[in-house]
Structure 1
């Protein structure tokens, strides 16, 4: 598509900031600090609220002067890994969702657009069925391998033809691969009751019952994926103008998509391995962020990285108190919260091409 055929895209090209003292930059920086405060409050609530409520003073004492003989201190200590994993998984899914919407120029894209989630889930099922893996730390390697393999297959299929891996071909290839992998996954599950029993507790998506071993196992992959994704802001700004315009500006489109896909694979594979498939975080949060930051991915990515874990941790807290004494898994809670919000966003304004 020629440059003249995309006047609206050019008119909405993110402008380079004039400097750190511009009013827009100061406003966004203030909002970023406010988002960080909201995340901190969500984390404090996650440690204090549950089947056994803990007073704020007791929470502080448990963190600063832990007493092994104090039952409330033990409860606080047990909730910290759950909260940390919620923050890490939420940040990973928010970053991955924003990056996927940018690289695919599709407002309905989420990490599943490349078949990443389906690939990770299918690999985990194979790990359980073939190799007898039962620990979350063992899921990490299978989830990462499955996510990476799915992304490579989708990109290779979408690259066939003269135009290469266009956004539409990426979406179609991802949807087709996801459907095929989920069919194979179902075939494995119906043939093994033991695999089904193990897999269904992971499949629902939850941050409960995880320990520091799980966090340490996925932390290197999450850190590497976050560094890659955050650094792609300028690349995604160029891709948002269209492939022809981006090439005209000197950008290597294929390389940009490959780097972004690598970050998404690391983030989604590690987060999915640790917490299971959690829906709507990567789909809704970038739209919410874009509504007050504009189209500049240099701001969309960091905001998504902070706002997504705030939503996930808050949803986890809500799941603990809605149906006491039991808990609603966070994967269910985020779907209940995210679906109406996304419908409201779609009805409120037309989702333009990214």
Structure 2
């Protein structure tokens, strides 16, 4: 087994949650803006892709070095052991980005990195012509930040938020990784009721069900690194057996998703069915003001409309007031709401126990947390 420098990339504000997930997999890590770095072997690459709920991608660092000239970028890239990663027929497109660096032309940096890799591989594979590039895919990225170049290979392929269950979606779907983070930031466990009163296409209830039964988010999809010759198929088989062994399929769940739009309720049901959770989640058409329950110690998580569009704000703030009134009688329930609306607490009628800044795509939002009474100890 080899040891790799691995990066799990993260949306802004979710780094601590991704780091907690990485540590729970058994890997020590360092946290930086937008990335969690750790060391691991081939099995760590497979397990990270299968298990990380809130990371965007899993990448391996091939090299990290200072580069202030194109010559330096070329020579230091060429000095890296590319033959360890890329077979002779590898398809290896190079993408790039540059922030606060002397080498600011991204297209030039991409071309230079590509040429340096080709030069290295020509020597190693004793080849004079072009490489066919008709084999497995290795997506390479050169990222320059303050004159330090980090060159990585993406092991995930499609972003990790693409779980493979989303048959349909609404106008502004919540990313699965953020939905999972919203659930993980609560005090919910699978033995308590869970409600999403703005379920849309069902992403939050589906992610809650996966968490409640400890089902790995990547169980239903493939990853680009499964095609690589230096990660044996048996490792992926072992990693997937671990996924099966750790799932708690017999954990009963009480999860409800509701929405004002009957079409979204139908789509949510189809998505849950696609995820293999069709029987476990109850979806229904309902307005939030009609919420009632006879249960205790439940958790409500929602991504309600924000009222960003002109004319929507008044209706949305009126709905926040109705929501506050509907939830008020249930003091054992905890409520968690994500919105960019700065008047939320005033409309809801109560100051949050805690709030956390998160980004929903490019929208800066706050996650308002209202903690209910603790259940009595047995």
TM-score (norm 1): 0.25
Higher relative contact order (CA 8 A, sep 6+): 1
Instruction: Mark the structure with the bigger radius of gyration.
Output: 2
TM-score (norm 2): 0.24
Looking at secondary structure, tell me which structure has more helix per residue.
1
